[in-house]
């Protein structure tokens, strides 16, 4: 995990969703061949999506009255739990779908991330939607896994 300090605690899931949206939109723009004015490429944007998804999952796991500053040990445990839960979901879906992602294009994975973002934004815009919907946490896990699949594809090229 990148060192974002307490940013993961200050940014609430809707803000993190918007950060993921910004990164996914930039990836889409670069994939469509737009002129690049910032040297960072697609790979760091996918890494950012994974990190923001983990931050959102950590946020969703906290009680509303949790302090901004958590002990390092607790923050690390929450991060590890988010990663393991996301990995577990990926393994189950890979079993059921037969690792179909291996035959997908990176641009299709970007499309899936953008579709999940739209659904999460809808849920978050409902009063309390991010707190009561089981779909939001699964959406963050799916987006993290799609971004990881894209990174694997990009590493093979």
Q: For the segment 74-109, what is each residue's pLDDT rounded down to a tens digit?
A: 989 999 999 999 999 999 999 999 889 999 999 999
Is 2 inside any structural domain? no
Is 40 inside any structural domain? yes
Residues of the chain above pLDDT 90, percent: 61
Number of domains in the chain: 1
Q: Please give the distance of CA 80 from its chain centroid, rounded to a whole number.
A: 15
Spans of the chain, pLDDT less than 70 = 1-11, 127-134, 156-157
How far apart CA 125 and CA 112 sit, in angstroms, is 20
Evaluate whether 120 touches 17 at the Cβ level (below 8 Å).
yes
Coil, helix or strand at residue 61? coil
Q: DSSP assignment, residue 65?
A: T
Is 72 inside any structural domain? yes
Domain extent, residue 92, equals 7-156
Is 124 inside any structural domain? yes
Is 18 inside any structural domain? yes
Is 1 inside any structural domain? no
Is 87 inside any structural domain? yes
How far apart CA 79 and CA 76 sit, in angstroms, is 5
Evaluate whether 35 touches 82 at the Cβ level (below 8 Å).
no
Q: Indicate the pTM of the whole model.
A: 0.85
Report pLDDT for 103.
93
């Amino acid at each position: 995990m990148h060192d974002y300090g307490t940013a993961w605690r200050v940014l609430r899931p809707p803000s993190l969703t918007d950060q993921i949206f910004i990164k996914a939109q930039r990836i889409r723009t670069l994939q469509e061949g737009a002129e690049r004015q910032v040297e960072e490429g697609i790979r760091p944007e996918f890494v950012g999506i994974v990190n923001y998804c983990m931050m959102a999952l950590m946020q969703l796991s906290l009680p509303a009255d949790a302090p901004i500053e958590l002990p390092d040990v607790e923050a690390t445990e929450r991060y590890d739990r988010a990663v393991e839960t996301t990995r577990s979901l990926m393994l189950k879906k890979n079993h059921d779908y037969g690792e179909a992602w291996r035959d997908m294009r990176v641009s299709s994975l970007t499309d899936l991330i953008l579709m999940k973002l739209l659904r999460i934004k809808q849920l978050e815009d409902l009063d309390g939607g991010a707190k009561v919907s089981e779909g939001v946490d699964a959406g963050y896990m799916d987006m993290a896994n799609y971004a990881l699949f894209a990174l694997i594809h990009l590493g093979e090229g």
